[in-house]
Structure 1
Amino acid sequence: MTKIFAHRGSAGTHPENTMIAFWEAERAGADGIELDVQLSKDGQIVVIHDETIDRTTDGTGWVKDFTYRELQQFNAAYKFADQYDVCRIPLLEEVLAWIRSTPLLLNIELKNGFIAYETLEQKVIDMIQRYQLEERTVLSSFNHNSMVFCRHLAPNIETAILYMEPLYDPWKYVRAIGADGLHPYHRTVSEPFVRQARNHRVAVRPFTINKEPLMQKMFRYGVDAIFTDYPLKAKKVRQNKKTP
């Protein structure tokens, strides 16, 4: 059965990449959550998507230029500020401490394509190992060199490559760099593509699947998982999925 990963938590209904968005994902019955990590000025692993805090908080500036304590001063309630009082940017450790007691899977996207956080891979892997979550975690990035490095550091943690444009023979490429999965933009995914990936034993988890007809299509294709901002809606669609 196609798994449902709540993209940045239940980001369609709650402030993205915050604890309440992750709690809601569990409540909605998602199989896992997806989140993004970067490093603060003092080397803390913080959960936030953009390289700046401008879009998702009431502050402005680069994530890398603030200490974790400084980042805590900003409200990450984002577009849901009228519904929720104050939401803080969480630490990865905060999420791992919580998720450990749940059955949820975890996809950690390393946001190191634009800014080269030199110690990000090692710090994230150390944290995953500390909480013994290696078997439930997938690491992903648009920075494929980073995924090669992660595989070198921790061969037992699954890795996947994110990409926007179609790749030629992606199953060969993903094996060449030692990764396990493909996380493609959904427009590059077709039924024959999914079939070929399955034949090569490569996982396919497209993003970001928010509209019901697209959810139905991906469930019909039999992708391994989808990333969606609306896990509750996706679960309902999956339960009612029409067989071809």
Structure 2
Amino acid sequence: MLIFGHRGSAGTHPENTMISFEEAARAGADGIELDIQLSKDGVPVVIHDEKLDRTTNGTGWVKDRTFYELKQLDAGAWFSDKFKGTRIPSLEEVLVWAQGNSLLINLELKTGIILYPQIEEKVIRLVEQYGLTGRVIISSFNHYSLVETRRIHRTIKTAILFSDGLYEPWKYAKTVEADGLHCHWPIAAYPVILDGAKQAGMPIRAYTVNDEARMREFMTNGVSAIFTDWPEKAVRIRRG
């Protein structure tokens, strides 16, 4: 079972920041998960919420700030004073860094509320530019984004995100030409889902798995990967 650091190492570091991704790599995670939106001037940036209020000292919508303006915000002090001055990274910054390691990279397109124009193309072109198409999975709760991703690029991996009991999701995923199932962790505990996905040859990756007992269960029941805020803990359990 693979371990993805959810927004890096979000349990120990401010989420979706370079220091959080670096910590996940140090902890021995197999991959990282991060969230992509666009600045007002169309730059792909790494932040989860559509609004800035929770994880920065800014307010309002990400979409209403230029990249320069977003870069002036503090994205670490909310988590701890010792991370004060941490900045919102661009996707390009993460991809440049990723060239120096072998991590898998799950890019979640945050298009469920804001339909960012050409976000799929902008993201794919950057991934291609840095030669990382073979290490990237693009996921989204907005499956129209996955269809657009597949239209632009025929082989890059995609995965549907879903949180409820979608019937035979492996069949549905094939209708949008997706390669994987990214589901809320309770769904990944259903034997009928696990068995059906296995027979269909489609990996299931569960989010967000932070409980030790649940980690141990998923390491033995056929789940392909977990996303966790605590990658160091998950790696330790897997080694044990």
TM-score (norm 2): 0.97
Is the 2:77–2:85 Cα contact (8 Å) retained in structure 1? no
Residue 191 of structure 1: how far off its partner (Å): 3.2
Is the 2:168–2:193 Cα contact (8 Å) retained in structure 1? no
Indicate the SS of the match to 1:206.
strand
Q: Which residue of 2 is the match for residue 232 of structure 1?
A: 232
Q: Pairwise mapping of residues 76-225 of structure 1 onto structure 2 (< 5 A)?
A: 76-189=75-188, 190-225=190-225
Q: CA RMSD in A?
A: 0.9
Distance 2:30 2:72 in 1: 32
Do structure 1's residue 19 and structure 2's residue 38 form an aligned pair? Answer: no
Letter in 1 for 2:74: N
Residue 225 of structure 1: how far off its partner (Å): 0.6
Indicate the SS of the match to 2:102.
coil
Distance 1:4 1:82 in 2: 28
Q: Which residue of 1 is the match for residue 28 of structure 2?
A: 29
Distance 1:188 1:61 in 2: 34
Is the 1:55–1:78 Cα contact (8 Å) retained in structure 2? no
Any unmatched runs of 5+ in structure 1? none
Residue 30 of structure 1: how far off its partner (Å): 0.3
Residue 78 of structure 1: how far off its partner (Å): 4.8
Moved more, 191-200 or 139-148: 191-200
Indicate the SS of the match to 2:215.
helix
Indicate the SS of the match to 2:139.
strand
Residue 41 of structure 1: how far off its partner (Å): 0.4
Do structure 1's residue 9 and structure 2's residue 35 form an aligned pair? Answer: no
Residue 213 of structure 1: how far off its partner (Å): 0.9
Cα deviation, 1:100-123, whole Å, max 9, x if unaligned, reads 110100000000010000110000
Distance 1:117 1:198 in 2: 34
Q: How many residues align?
A: 239
Residue 222 of structure 1: how far off its partner (Å): 2.1
Distance 1:59 1:169 in 2: 42
Is the 2:75–2:84 Cα contact (8 Å) retained in structure 1? no
Indicate the SS of the match to 1:220.
coil
Indicate the SS of the match to 1:83.
helix
Residue 196 of structure 1: how far off its partner (Å): 1.8
Instruction: State the percentage of identical aligned residues.
Output: 52
Is the 1:182–1:204 Cα contact (8 Å) retained in structure 2? yes
Residue 85 of structure 1: how far off its partner (Å): 2.7
Distance 1:140 1:56 in 2: 22
Give the ranges of 4+ consecutive aligned residues of structure 1 lying more than 4 Å apart after TM superposition: none
Residue 86 of structure 1: how far off its partner (Å): 1.0
Residue 81 of structure 1: how far off its partner (Å): 2.8
Letter in 1 for 2:194: V
Distance 1:41 1:100 in 2: 27
Residue 88 of structure 1: how far off its partner (Å): 0.2
Indicate the SS of the match to 2:83.
coil
Letter in 2 for 1:38: Q
Residue 137 of structure 1: how far off its partner (Å): 0.3
Cα deviation, 1:179-221, whole Å, max 9, x if unaligned, reads 0000001111223422221110111001000110111111121
Any unmatched runs of 5+ in structure 2? none
Letter in 2 for 1:228: T
